[in-house]
Each structure stands twice: as C-alpha cells, then as structure tokens.
Amino acid sequence: MDQSPAIVNVEQVSRRFALDHNQARSYVAALDHASFAVEPGEFLAIAGPSGSGKSTLLNLIGCIDKPSEGRILVDGVDTSRLDSSRMTTLRREKIGFVFQTFNLIPVFTAAENVEFPLLVQGVGARERRTRVAEALESVGLSSRAGHRPDLLSGGERQRVAVARAIVHRPALVLADEPTANLDTRNATQLIDLMRDLNQRLGLTFIFSTHDARLLEHTPRIVRLCDGQIESDTHTGAQLLAAQGASHD
C-alpha cells in the first residue's frame, strides 16, 4: 500500500437509533465506535450477518446519514461538519452508489439511467453521450443501451447500476449488498466486474455482503458483528501470490 492519504477515514463512529421517539434514552446502537481507513484504489468488503450494521456504515460513509458520535472523512472532508446542501454536492461529485434492489428509474432506458448522474452534475450533452457509451461498454452492456429496466435480466440491471455508479468518475463507489438479489453465477460475475473496474480504472470500491463465497477474491474484508468491527483482514498479498501462481 502506498502512502497516499486515505479516501475514507472512519473515526470512532457510532450510530444510534431511537427506539421510542417519546423516550430519548431508549435506543439501539447500529454501529458502535467503528474505526478504519480506506486507501484510494482499495477493494473492500464489509461482511457480517444481517443486522450487523453493514448498511448503516455504508449510509454513513455515503453521506446519506450522519453519525451519532465520531466522524467520517471522505477524500479529506469531515462529513459531520457539512450541511445538507454540501452533503448533496459531495455525494453527487465524489460517490457512486449501487443498491441491493438495483433502484433504476423504470421509465428511463439503460443509457438514460447511466446518464442521470451526469445530468445532475450539469455535464454537457456531447460529453454525456461519450461517457455513457464508455460506462456501458465497461460493463459490457452497449447493446442493451436502449432497453428499459423491465426488459433486462437481474444481472444486467445491476451492471447498469454499476455503470451509473462509475459514469461520473467518483472517488468512491459504495455498493450495499449488490449481489443479494442475484443468483450465484450473476453474483460472482458482478463481483468480478467490480474488481475489474477497480483494477483497471483504479476506482475505490466498498461493498457490503453476507455471502461468504463472494469474499474469496476480496483483498480486504472488514467484518462487523452487532455494530462493532470484529476483524479487518488484508489478504491482498495472498491474492496477488495466488494470481501470480495461476499466471505461471
């Protein structure tokens, strides 16, 4: 790992949810004093059983929720100090999202869905066309550009979602259980695609999963249990060695 500054710094972050709005002291801790850093270009999995706090952690890193305690720095910016408008700008410019249920806009074609983040950013039409074509090409869906989501398979929809997440060249791509609605073959293909984009384009990926089979090719795994980090495992060296041996 080089000495470049971390793209994400999670520092003693907790997130508590009130159980009863009338009783402020009654709450549940979805995340409890979690700390870790993510370097640019990393491919990181957040693993753990359902309810372990994976989605909460991704929401906090993705600036769609705020920690109850601690702070998160994204690309050097302390997100806990940002107002709603600046959070929106940060999400728009720095982060790409992939969701468990794809969350494509059903009335838009695949290309239009991919184009949407660029529209929000105010990118010109010609530039948008070029980038959409590149993004769809990179996920192998150029031929399906004109299809609406209901005419695509689950795997194809999620690849469109990945293309949408990377089209504006974010500093960070967050994927919350991206394979949960896919069969094993499509799930493996999607993880391979994300890994390929990570290596080819140098994009930082953080994704959550509770499927142990998908973690086999993941160089770093942060394991959560009951809102606490149970382990933070770097397997990059072993993976590189394994890949090197297979090439030999």
Partner 1 sequence: MTKFLLLAFRNVFRNRRRTLMTLLMVGGGVTGLLLAGGFFAFMFHGLREMTISNGLGHIQIFTAEHFQRDEDRALSTGIDNWRQAAATIRTGRHVRGVAPRIDFYGMVSNGSKSSVFMGSAVDPAAERSLGFTARLSSGRDLDPKPDGEIEALIGAGLARSMGVKVGDGLTLLSMTADGALNGVDIQIVGIVNSGIAEMDARYLRINLASAQRLLQSDRVTNLVVGLDSTEYTDQVAGELAPRLNGMAQPLVLKKWIDLATYYKQVRTLFSGIFLFLGVIVFFMVLMSSVNTLLMAMFERTREIGTMLAMGTPRLWIVVLFMLEATLLGVFGAVVGVAAGNLLGVALNASGLHLPPPPGNTSDMPFRVLFVPGLMIGSSIMVIVSLALASILPAIRASRLQIAEALSHV
Interface residues with partner 1 (CB under 8 A)?
55, 59, 62, 64-65, 84, 88-93, 95, 97, 99, 101, 103, 105-108, 112, 115-117, 119-121, 164
What's the min distance (Å) between Cβ of 130 and partner 1?
Answer: 16
Q: Which two tokens stand for residue 126?
A: 């010609």
Q: For partner 1, give the closer residue by CB, 19 or 242.
A: 19
Token look-up 């690309």 returns: 75
Q: For partner 1, give the closer residue by CB, 95 or 193.
A: 95
Token look-up 């004109």 returns: 146
What's the min distance (Å) between Cβ of 86 and partner 1?
Answer: 11
- Helices (DSSP H) in 69-109: which residue ranges? 84-94
- The amino acid that residue 85 corresponds to is S
Q: Which two tokens stand for residue 45?
A: 């999995």
In three-state secondary structure terms, 247 is helix
Q: For partner 1, give the closer residue by CB, 107 or 201.
A: 107
What's the min distance (Å) between Cβ of 103 and partner 1?
Answer: 4
Task: For residue 133, give the H/E element and its range.
Answer: helix 125-138
Q: Tell me the C-alpha distance between 99 and 4, whole Å.
A: 29
Q: For partner 1, give the closer residue by CB, 93 or 134.
A: 93
> Is the separation of the CB atoms in 172 and 40 below 8 Å?
no
Q: Tell me the C-alpha distance between 176 and 140, whole Å.
A: 22
Q: For partner 1, give the closer residue by CB, 170 or 219.
A: 170
Q: For partner 1, give the closer residue by CB, 151 or 242.
A: 151
Task: For residue 241, give the H/E element and its range.
Answer: helix 236-247
What's the min distance (Å) between Cβ of 168 and partner 1?
Answer: 9
Eight-class DSSP state of 141: -
